[in-house]
Amino acid sequence: MSAEAADPGAPLRRRSRPRIDLRRLGRVALLGPVSRDRLPDAIGHVAEAHRAHHPDADLTILRRAYVLAESSHRGQMRKSGEPYITHPLAVTLILAELGAETTTLTASLLHDTVEDTEVTLDQVREQFGDEVCYLVDGVTKLEKVDYGAAAEPETFRKMLVATGNDVRVMSIKLADRLHNMRTLGVMRPEKQARIAKVTRDVLIPLAERLGVQALKTELEDLVFAILHPEEYEQTRALIAAAAGPDAPLDTIADNVRGTLRDAGISAEVLIRPRHFVSVHRVRRKRGELRGTDFGRLLVLVTEDADCYAVLGELHTCFTPVISEFKDFIAAPKFNLYQSLHTAVVGPGGAVAEVLIRTHRMHKVAEAGVVALGNPYAQDHAAAPQTEPSDERADPTRPGWLSRLLDWQESATDPDTFWTTLRADLAQDREITVFRTDGGTLGLPAGASCVDAAYAQYGDRAHTSIGARVNGRLATLSTVLSDGDTVQLLLAQDTASGPSPDWLDHARTPAARIAITGWLTDHPDEAKPTPSTMTSMDPGGPGPAEPAAPERAAPATAPARTRSGPRATGVVVDGPDAPVRLAGCCTPVPPDELTGFVVRGGAVTVHRRECPAVAAMQEIGRAPVGARWADAGGRESDAGCRVTLVAESFGRPRLLADLTEAIATAEAAIVSATVEPPSEQRVRHTYTLQLPDAAGLPALMRAMREVAGVYDVSRAQHPAPAG
């Protein structure tokens, strides 16, 4: 069964079987009893589809489920005028075609009995067991009489919670919505649009996440036809015009078959027509469509290794489009999808996209979790499990579903749940990031370190102060990429909380709900961050009165060199003149030096790597040789002055802890400034007087060890002489 049928209104079916007339079967269902030794004629096609996937299936329970469904729905009619039994029959057929196992099909036949008839859950449990009862209950809607306007969101909440325990619940719901969408034309336009929007916002993303592409693509086309009828008709006309016996893909497909046959690779090469929405997307992306844009080649082989053999032959015998290559076999998508994607240039320059997969991969690509059969059977349970932190460890409880179930508990208000659910499902791509303890986190594309923190630590993430991404320190606002390694840094002060700014970087509902909840509960306790630069009393560690911030000059007009202290222990070449250490880089032994004559005849000495040195030379200033006075590179007893820049994440008491570390190292603070925070990052600049330059490395280490400080460096200010 193709997931990209050209006609979105056509029912899902295997090519080997003729189209089934459900209207006729509905009438057959009302003709009376059937003999006990065979299945009712009305579900013979379901049995045939089921046996195609499960040859040894026991069909007795299906017969009993059909008899109960037919008798309980007898007399009910759909709005289309068909007997109601045609609906559960159609839903069951869809699932049977996908390869669903017997329990799912049994529940599918009964999925509307508790909701629309006098049958009770106790009766279902008594006749068919707990499993079938759970599935039927999972898809049964909540009554509007009891829930009012909240009935729809609360029904979806109930269904998702049930899916968390058994993914087959959502399989039935998706097939149910597909058949309803196929027959939506009998409803008022406004109701069609409302149902189509919910399908677009909720059901289609769920189908994508569960890997059920066969249902997802047809649902997309049906929604497209209702919500965008003009674009739909234009796309339909383009597809019809492109159809013909001399389609460019036919020629390329024949060449691929010949290439693989000559290489001795047994493969089936098919042409998969793109579905309507896919064609529409390609048209919007490229403008004018090429003849090969209406479909893709599908190459099916037996073994995984054969996939790479096919890829090698295609890239050898055709010109590959390297940018189109993707390996989803070595790195499967989060929804179980596996395939090799590539594109090759055929005769006349035509470019064809190619999908390469095994028959097993193809079944999973079409049916997703439905292809698992009964994932809760004993043989599945006995299989070895990967670590539960792995996103793909348990396909019956994928990471995205676990996250959804976690945050929905905090969204007690139905409107909040409904809005957040749609926003969550709108994240149409997932990434996997690695934790330093060996586990993984599954996050939506665009997620930041804020999202990773709440995914890993829950409410403990309120104390986050930063992160390391791929070994490098990063702010919480840093956007993560697939495959990144992230280590979250938490403050020791467990009483601290998140900043309102975090909401600007949070993409996951769990993070947004947790942050919003904390801010609501602590309106006056948002995480404090410095708001102005702060002047420091040179003699002590405590903050004094705020000082005006220094403004950085543009790079094209660097600021005037700041006056530095009179240099001792420095010898310069040339005339006897006052010598000063540059305030922009505050050189200390054993830094390599160079000097420049400035206004007034004084010589200002810089570190050789100071940006001001290059700026001086660019404006024609001749350098003056300079060096430390003694051979050991040690300064005299007067000590040294140095400017250090500390980069840190904002947290309470950070300033006090830093100045305490400086004081412990016996350095005197000449001046200090703290710049306003940017994305939770704070920059501190200290000019310090040290008794001996040899103590500088130990001082910088002590400052780096202060919690929240991620870097300490020597100041590098652009400062040509004025």
Cα-flanking dihedrals φ and ψ of residue 461, to 5°?
-65, -10
What is the β-pairing status of strands 681-690 and 668-674? antiparallel
Rounded to whole angstroms, the Cα distance separating 30 from 21 reads: 15
| Beta bridge pairs of residue 327 | 340
User: Is 182 within 8 Å of 340 (Cβ atoms)?
Assistant: no
* 123 phi/psi in degrees, rounded to 5: -65, -40
Determine the Cα–Cα distance for residues 112 and 314; give it in Å rounded to an integer: 50
Orientation angle between helical segments 130-139 and 121-128, nearest 10 degrees = 150
540 three-class SS: coil
Enzyme catalytic residues: 115-116
Q: Which of 676, 675, 692 is nearest to 684 (CA)?
A: 675
- How far CA 391 is from CA of 386, 428, 567, in Å, comes to 10, 16, 61
Q: Is the Cβ–Cβ distance between 584 and 562 less than 8 Å?
A: yes
C-alpha dihedral, 580 to 586 to 588 to 594, nearest 10°: -60
**Dist. CA 369–CA 371, nearest whole Å:** 5
Query: Are 227 and 200 contacting, i.e. CB atoms less than 8 angstroms apart?
Result: yes
Which residue has 């590959």 as its token pair? 320
Q: Judge contact between 232 and 8, C-beta under 8 A.
A: no
Task: Confirm if 409 and 428 have CB atoms less than 8 A apart.
Answer: no
Q: Provide the H-helix boundaries in 228-302.
A: 229-242, 248-262, 276-286
CA 458 – CA 532 distance, rounded (Å): 32
Q: Which of 687, 106, 602, 155 is nearest to 417 (CA)?
A: 155
DSSP string, 437-463: TS-EEEEETT-BHHHHHHHHHGGGGGG
**Can you read off the two tokens belonging to residue 523?**
């309106």
Which amino acid, 42?
Answer: A
**CA atoms of 569 and 88, how far apart (whole Å):** 94
Residues linked to residue 358 through DSSP beta bridges, in sequence order: 301
Beta bridge partners of 570: 628
DSSP string, 290-335: PGGGGEEEEEEESSHHHHHHHHHHHHHHSEE-GGG-EETTTS--TT
Sheet holding 709-714, edge to edge: 668-674, 681-690, 640-649, 709-714
Query: Which residue is associated with the tokens 């250090």?
Result: 644
Identify the residue whose tokens are 């540059």: 582
Residue with tokens 């934790």: 435
Calpha distance 263→266 (Å, rounded): 9
Question: Which runs of E-coded beta strand occur in 591-662?
Answer: 593-597, 603-607, 623-628, 640-649
